[in-house]
Structure 1
Amino acid sequence: MSRQYFGTDGIRDVAGQGLLSLELVTSYGHAIGSWLSGQTAGAKVLVGRDTRASGPALLDQLGAGVIAAGHELVDGGVLPTPAVQTLCREERFDLAIVISASHNPAADNGLKFFGADGRKLADEAEESIEREIAEVLTKGPPSPGASGGSRRSDPEAGGRYLEFIDRCFPGLSLAGVTLAVDCAHGAGADLVPTALERFGATQHVRGAAPDGLNINEGAGVFHVAELGAIVKEHGASLGMALDGDADRVLLVDENGDVRDGDYMLGVLAVDMKERGELPGDRLVTTVMANLGLKVHLARHEIACETVAVGDRFVASAMADCGATLGGEQSGHVIFRDGARWFGDGLYTALRILEVIQRTGLPLSELVAGIEKFPQVLVNVPVRERRPVDDIPGLTEAVQLAEVDLGSEGRVLLRYSGTELLLRVMVEGRDLERVRGHVDAMVDVAKRELG
């Protein structure tokens, strides 16, 4: 079915406008309450949010319908998305909702939904909720549930997440280890430094003073290069930059060089294979993965399955092929341990720190075998998502680049699933040729779509 509300990562818009208008968010609450009632009576729903000022109001609007349907709403307050997922799974909630727009500006917000297993809802479930939304908008809110619902706050939720992280790394000590940490003024601003302190690390923290309006502003994954100066100034072993909801992380090695998800996957895959934790000697990544990663994996006889961009596609492919590791260049790394799934910036950084300690090698040496091809990515603002094949000048520019680059390069054009952007990516061994092809495509895209 054609979707009106759900995108690739839940529902996202400017808070109070469009898909997140007061009327629609209130309707979403009633629709979710009705959908839940069809699954179970008196469901238990956990809600967490990032630090955006619009979060509490969205929770009130959404929660009213859930409560009216007779369900229990548990407000976990400000929590990283992975904390909400973990608590949902470990404490047997029926549904979890995260109010966050991740790496987007503070004016935006969004709604993400997770099932009892802590994973994003399946397409079928989202489509069912879309039908419930249409019903509410057409006929009005459903009758209240036979028994009244309730709402309560859970200020200890974050602490229980930290205890879970402690249990995941029982032998890890970071005493004597210096880290540079950027929390993006987001959901991890309190819990992530606290977690690292519990492991004994010395920290130099930035981006940990959220005021409701500064999430991702001058901090976080889009400003990770600035973390390099802090790493070098303090002689840190590692730098880590989170995004707004702390489900992804980018690293900085001890020399101040940025190491993205490709590098992390390369290090983790080899380590997990050596320890017998990579079934089928395979991992899953996306079309954005650098060719250099694939060359590195092939050298270690590790297969790489490639899917469309989006952590839900990575997780789905991992489930299908039995992989225990997958992820994206953007820093969203996914681990699977039986029924437990981890897509957590903090957890990922701790896994890398484990490898550093186990091998005695700094991150720069662990990634030395990964020679990335020059890759240029430009985001072009567009007014519409017109099919690329319907834009003759763009099609011709792509074909020219593919012929020129041959087997040692590639071109990828795709629209963002959350913003009106066309992402133009070209990769190849010769940086100047790559840039020339990107410039040609961007010029056409701006002229035809801008």
Structure 2
Amino acid sequence: MTRKLFGTDGIRGKINHSPLTADVAVKLGQATAIILNEIHKNGKKKGKPKLILGKDTRVSGYIYENALTSGLCSCGVDVYLVGPLPTPAVAHLIKSFGADAGIMITASHNPAGDNGIKFFDCSGYKLPNKEETKIEGLVLNNELDASNFSIVDVGKAHRIDDARGRYIEYCKSTVLNQSMSQFKVVLDCANGAAYKVAPRIFQELDIDVVVIGDKPDGLNINKDCGSLYPDKLKKEVLKNKADFGVALDGDADRIIMVDEKGDVVDGDEIMALSAIYMKEKGRLINDKVVVTVMSNIGFYKAMKENKIKVETTQVGDKFVIEKMRSTGARLGGEQSGHIIFSKYITTGDGVIAALQIMRAMKHTQKKLSELKKCMAKYPQVLLNFDVKEKKDLEGIKEYRKRAKEIEFELGDEGRILVRYSGTQNCCRVMIEGKDKKVITKYANELMGIIKKEIGA
């Protein structure tokens, strides 16, 4: 069934355009409240359901924070507002406060003109598709009525003052509050949700930190900074002679790193070095790691050489986490930088990932450039382009024919992955192989064929 509101990571879109309108947000709040009340009643819990509500630094966050709060309170849920905090902080605070659910208002790595809404259950995990579809059904079928909630039934909104401090202390505890004074780090907060907490965490662990991207104005989140734009971070690492750099995205659930030489270290490389280190220390349960179809061939080869099993899912950290839970894996993530250390957190967390890499560097006494040598990346070309519709690609005869020819030509030393974005109206063509020139030519060919048929 095609869903109208939810994508692969909650609801996302342009502000004040369907489905990201204030009135829909009110209804989403009411729908969530109705489901929470039902769960509360069936569990014979006392009092009203509690929900943690966070946001990133987008100016539009005020729209959805107020609209969701209105909908939730009108149908009997107490809302605990934590203000601008990372997505993983919301996931952690749900458990810390014993809340029944959580919502994060963010469009993650997208530009400021977009926003989104992510939903979490009482354990801090993103809602499975089944629960999201239930919320969507209530909204679209107009099955919402707050008139049954009297003055004593409606919820209240509370502002939590110590939310930031709780998350800061928890992150530090994942490395046992050990001093990391030997490191000089450049930290790019993407003018996003981590701009207050991430620098403090690093400072309180005695890290010599140079902070950039920490002056949000509501409009500059992810703008030429953060995990999608590491160029400034590279320059700052070299200029400051830092040991490495850390780039977060708008809601800090992603991390991309830069080594002391100014070279980017992506999610695959972070997972590869983490998996090998964790296995050596006996911390990689079942010697298994979970990744998505986007992971580089070089990652699979590195894991095979180190006798580490790899489970592969579709794109989306939610699906990675679901597979981790079903297989008991302790490490998983995406090439894009969602890294999940399931011992500590229920979703991708850029800050916690950075701390775990520092711990590995400290214990091995190796530089980041040395640790990342465990994996030899294959050249990869990724092209993104807008489309007017998400037509079945197999139905495009010319594309189907040429894709098969290219797959044959690449053989075992390359692969093609063409897919639509789950959160945007665009198509992504990814090709890996030994020769960058050849795969660039192939990728442009396939993009041209698809654009001719359905390009925006």
- For the superposition of Structure 1 and Structure 2, which TM-score range results when normalised by the shorter chain? over 0.9
1:295 aligned to which of 278, 294, 301: 301
| Inter-partner Cα distance in structure 2 for 1:246 and 1:3 | 27
1:134 aligned to which of 136, 140, 158: 140
What percentage of aligned pairs have identical amino acids? 38
| Inter-partner Cα distance in structure 2 for 1:238 and 1:29 | 42
Q: Superposed, which structure 2 residues align to 1:254-265 within 5 Å?
A: 254-265=260-271
Could you say which residue in structure 2 is the equivalent of 1:357? Answer: 362
| Inter-partner Cα distance in structure 2 for 1:59 and 1:341 | 23
Pair 1:308-2:326 in alignment: no
CA contact (8 A) 1:27 1:141 kept: no
Offset at residue 235 of structure 1 (A): 0.9
Pair 1:184-2:190 in alignment: yes
Pair 1:443-2:448 in alignment: yes
| Inter-partner Cα distance in structure 1 for 2:336 and 2:221 | 18
Offset at residue 342 of structure 1 (A): 4.7
Could you say which residue in structure 2 is the equivalent of 1:39? Answer: 39
Pair 1:335-2:341 in alignment: yes
Cα deviation digits, residues 68-106 of structure 1 (max 9, x gap)? 112110100111001110111222110100000001110
| Inter-partner Cα distance in structure 1 for 2:402 and 2:100 | 49
Could you say which residue in structure 1 is the equivalent of 2:437? Answer: 432
Offset at residue 225 of structure 1 (A): 2.8
Offset at residue 53 of structure 1 (A): 0.4
Could you say which residue in structure 1 is the equivalent of 2:400? Answer: 395
Equivalent position SS for 1:357 = helix
Could you say which residue in structure 2 is the equivalent of 1:270? Answer: 276
| Inter-partner Cα distance in structure 2 for 1:341 and 1:99 | 17
| Inter-partner Cα distance in structure 2 for 1:377 and 1:337 | 32
The list of structure 1 runs, each at least 4 consecutive aligned residues, that deviate by more than 3 angstroms after superposition, is 138-142
Cα deviation digits, residues 158-214 of structure 1 (max 9, x gap)? 111101112222152121421011111000111101110000111111111000011
Offset at residue 439 of structure 1 (A): 1.0
Q: Which amino acid aligns with 1:18?
A: S
Pair 1:226-2:232 in alignment: yes
Q: Which amino acid aligns with 1:441?
A: L
Offset at residue 154 of structure 1 (A): 1.0
CA contact (8 A) 1:307 1:317 kept: yes
Equivalent position SS for 1:180 = strand
| Inter-partner Cα distance in structure 1 for 2:165 and 2:446 | 49
| Inter-partner Cα distance in structure 1 for 2:56 and 2:238 | 30
Q: Which amino acid aligns with 1:425?
A: M
Pair 1:89-2:95 in alignment: yes
More deviation, 72-81/219-228: 219-228
| Inter-partner Cα distance in structure 2 for 1:315 and 1:267 | 19
| Inter-partner Cα distance in structure 2 for 1:112 and 1:386 | 26
Q: Superposed, which structure 2 residues align to 1:49-128 within 5 Å?
A: 49-128=55-134
Taking structure 1 as the reference length, the TM-score comes to 0.97
Q: Which amino acid aligns with 2:239?
A: E
Cα deviation digits, residues 107-127 of structure 1 (max 9, x gap)? 111100000110001222112
| Inter-partner Cα distance in structure 1 for 2:402 and 2:101 | 46
CA contact (8 A) 2:124 2:346 kept: yes
Equivalent position SS for 1:304 = strand
In structure 1, runs of 5+ residues without a counterpart are none
Q: Which amino acid aligns with 2:240?
A: H
| Inter-partner Cα distance in structure 2 for 1:53 and 1:354 | 36
2:216 aligned to which of 201, 210, 213: 210
Equivalent position SS for 1:244 = coil
Could you say which residue in structure 2 is the equivalent of 1:380? Answer: 385
| Inter-partner Cα distance in structure 1 for 2:100 and 2:6 | 20
Equivalent position SS for 2:245 = strand
More deviation, 314-323/343-352: 314-323
Offset at residue 397 of structure 1 (A): 2.0
| Inter-partner Cα distance in structure 2 for 1:261 and 1:255 | 18
Q: Which amino acid aligns with 2:245?
A: G
Cα deviation digits, residues 288-333 of structure 1 (max 9, x gap)? 0000011111111111111111001111111111111110000101
Equivalent position SS for 1:179 = strand
Pair 1:235-2:205 in alignment: no
Equivalent position SS for 1:315 = helix
Equivalent position SS for 1:40 = helix
Q: Which amino acid aligns with 1:255?
A: K
Pair 1:411-2:425 in alignment: no
Cα RMSD, aligned residues only:
1.4
| Inter-partner Cα distance in structure 2 for 1:395 and 1:440 | 12
| Inter-partner Cα distance in structure 2 for 1:385 and 1:140 | 35
Could you say which residue in structure 2 is the equivalent of 1:286? Answer: 292
CA contact (8 A) 2:106 2:116 kept: yes
CA contact (8 A) 2:269 2:372 kept: yes
Taking structure 2 as the reference length, the TM-score comes to 0.96
| Inter-partner Cα distance in structure 2 for 1:56 and 1:159 | 22
Q: Which amino acid aligns with 1:427?
A: E
Pair 1:175-2:156 in alignment: no
